[in-house]
């Protein structure tokens, strides 16, 4: 007569499953052919723009970085990210800052040229930061948005030796040839530059 084989205990099953899963847990969570999720700003979330909406480059060796351009989306945060992912739109920025909590999404690597300024020369020499909101609705310019954006801008300036002043941290409306008005009259430049310098 054959002896009945003992069934493994629940604990043995869980231990076995854990051991089997270890090699997979150590692998990066990217799919084959997926774009790398590395970010230039450590607290940013990678949310890639369509490769049809920016120009690959090797800045600052290919072009010097001289400016940070401040934008206001005139859209919601999720809609802005959708626009940047849409290959038909032909627009992107390096970063988008959410109004409610200052959360930052990086959409284009800093080494690449985002299409944000409407002026090729300025695109090649700048980092573009979009801020969720509308120029005529100052409630979107929250403390969290100002503070996190200022930390981001300070990090960019430190990385590339960009002076932390109004000659180098400019509004979209200051780009030659633009027809845009952002960030608009409700953007507090004095506060923002102070925050950048103290970040």
pLDDT at 37: 61
Q: Which of 11-25, 58-72, 148-162 has the lowest mean pLDDT?
A: 11-25
Residue 36 has what pLDDT? 53
| Residue pair 67/169 in contact by the 8 Å Cβ criterion | yes
Q: What confidence score (pLDDT) does residue 107 get? A: 98
* Mean pLDDT over the full length of the chain: 87
pLDDT band at 38 (very low <50, low <70, confident <90, very high): confident
pLDDT in tens, 115-139: 999 999 999 999 999 999 999 999 9
Query: pLDDT tens digit string along 173-193?
Result: 999 999 999 999 999 999 999
Percentage of residues in the chain having pLDDT higher than 90: 81
Answer whether residue 19 shows pLDDT above 50.
no
- Report the C-alpha gap between 160 and 68 in whole angstroms: 11
H, E, C per residue of the chain: CCCCCCCCCHHHHHHHHHHHHHHHHCCCCCCCCCCCCCCCCCCCEECCCCHHHEECCCCCCCCCCCEEEEEECCECHHHHHHHHHCCCCCCCCCEEECCCCCCEEECCCCCCEECCCCCHHHHHCEEEEEECECCCCHHHCCHHHHHHHHHHHHHHHHHHCCCCCCCCEEEHHHCCCCCCCCCCCCCCHHHHHHHHHHC
Separation between Cα atoms, residue 77 and residue 89, nearest integer Å:
16
- Whether the pLDDT of residue 164 is over 90: the answer is yes
């Amino acid at each position: 007569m054959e002896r009945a084989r003992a069934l493994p205990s629940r604990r043995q099953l869980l231990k076995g499953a854990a051991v089997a899963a270890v090699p997979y847990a150590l692998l990066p969570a990217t799919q084959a052919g997926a774009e790398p999720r590395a970010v230039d700003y450590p607290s940013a979330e990678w949310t890639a723009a369509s490769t049809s909406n920016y120009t690959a480059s090797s800045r600052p060796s290919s072009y010097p970085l001289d400016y940070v351009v401040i934008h206001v989306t005139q859209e919601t945060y999720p809609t802005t990210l959708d626009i940047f992912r849409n290959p038909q739109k032909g627009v992107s920025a390096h970063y988008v800052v959410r109004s409610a909590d200052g959360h930052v999404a990086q959409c284009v690597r800093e080494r690449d040229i985002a299409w944000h300024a409407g002026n090729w020369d300025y695109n090649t020499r700048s980092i573009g930061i979009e801020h969720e909101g509308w120029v005529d609705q100052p409630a979107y310019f929250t403390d969290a948005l100002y503070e996190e954006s200022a930390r981001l801008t300070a990090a960019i300036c430190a990385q590339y030796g960009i002076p932390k002043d109004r000659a180098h941290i400019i509004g979209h409306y200051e780009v030659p040839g633009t027809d845009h008005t952002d960030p608009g009259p409700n953007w507090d430049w004095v506060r923002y530059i102070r925050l950048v310098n103290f970040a």
